[in-house]
Structure 1
Amino acid sequence: MKKNGHTGGITAVPFVPTAGALPGAEVIDFPRLLDRAGRRGVDVTRPVRLGFHELITVREGELRCSVDFTAYTLRPGGWLWVWPEQIVQYEAGHTDCDGRLVVFSAGFPGAATDRLIRDAEYGAGRLITPPDAVQAPLTATLDALEAEYGGVLGLPLEARAETMRNLLSVILIRLAHLANQGRPEPSGHGTFQKFRQAVEEGFTRTHSVHAFAAQLGYSERTLTRATRAATGYGAKRHIDDRVLLEAKRLLAHTGLTSGAVGARVGFTHATAFHAFFRHRMGMTPTEFRRLLHQVHLP
Structure 2
Amino acid sequence: MMAKTRQGSPRDIPEVPFAAPAGTPAGVEVMSLAELRRRVREHDLARPQRPDFHHLLTLTEGDLWHVVDFDGHALRPGSWLWVRPGQAHQWGDLTAAEGTLILFRQDVLDPATATSARVDDPHAPVVTTPVDADAEAVSLAAEHLSREFRALGQLPLDVHIAALRHLLAVLLLRLAHLTVPAGGPAPEPDETYLRFRDAVERRFTVTRRVEDYAQMLGYSGRTLARATLAGAGLGAKEFIDRRVVLEAKRLLAHGDESAAQISDRLGFVTPSQFSKYFSQRTGRSPLDFRKEIRGLAASRSQGGRPAAG
| TM value normalised by structure 2 | 0.85
Bigger CA drift: 6-15 or 109-118?
6-15
Q: Cα deviations across residues 97-129 of structure 1 (Å, max 9, x unaligned)?
A: 32111111122222121121218643342x211
Query: What is the aligned length?
Result: 292
One-letter amino acid matched to 2:236: A
Percent of pairs identical after alignment?
39
Separation in 2 of the partners of 1:213 and 1:249?
Answer: 27
Bigger CA drift: 247-256 or 6-15?
6-15
One-letter amino acid matched to 2:177: H
Q: Cα deviations across residues 132-171 of structure 1 (Å, max 9, x unaligned)?
A: 3222232222121112111257111111111111111111
Please list, as runs of the form range in 1=range in 2, the aligned pairs for 1:1-298 lying within 5 A after superposition: 1-6=3-8, 9-38=12-41, 43-92=44-93, 94-95=94-95, 97-118=97-118, 121-125=122-126, 127-151=127-151, 154-178=154-178, 181-185=184-188, 189-296=190-297, 298=300
Distance apart, 1:22 and its partner CA: 0.9
Distance apart, 1:13 and its partner CA: 0.6
Separation in 2 of the partners of 1:5 and 1:19?
Answer: 23
One-letter amino acid matched to 1:139: S
Q: Calculate the aligned-residue CA RMSD, in Å.
A: 2.5
Separation in 1 of the partners of 2:218 and 2:199?
Answer: 12
Secondary structure of 2:243's counterpart equals helix
Bigger CA drift: 7-16 or 273-282?
7-16
Distance apart, 1:95 and its partner CA: 4.5
Cα contact 1:30–1:95 (8 A) shared by 2: no
Distance apart, 1:9 and its partner CA: 0.8
Separation in 2 of the partners of 1:71 and 1:150?
Answer: 32
Secondary structure of 2:117's counterpart equals helix
Separation in 2 of the partners of 1:181 and 1:150?
Answer: 35
Bigger CA drift: 15-24 or 209-218?
209-218
Bigger CA drift: 220-229 or 18-27?
220-229
One-letter amino acid matched to 2:169: S
Secondary structure of 2:123's counterpart equals helix
| TM value normalised by structure 1 | 0.88
Cα contact 1:185–1:230 (8 A) shared by 2: yes
One-letter amino acid matched to 2:109: P
Cα contact 1:45–1:91 (8 A) shared by 2: yes
Cα contact 1:258–1:270 (8 A) shared by 2: yes
One-letter amino acid matched to 1:22: P
Secondary structure of 2:14's counterpart equals strand
Bigger CA drift: 20-29 or 256-265?
256-265
One-letter amino acid matched to 2:28: A
Residues 262 and 36 of structure 1, relative CA distance in 2, 3 Å threshold: farther
One-letter amino acid matched to 2:106: A
Separation in 1 of the partners of 2:38 and 2:205?
Answer: 36
Distance apart, 1:29 and its partner CA: 1.6
Separation in 1 of the partners of 2:153 and 2:147?
Answer: 7
Distance apart, 1:258 and its partner CA: 1.6
Cα contact 2:55–2:104 (8 A) shared by 1: yes
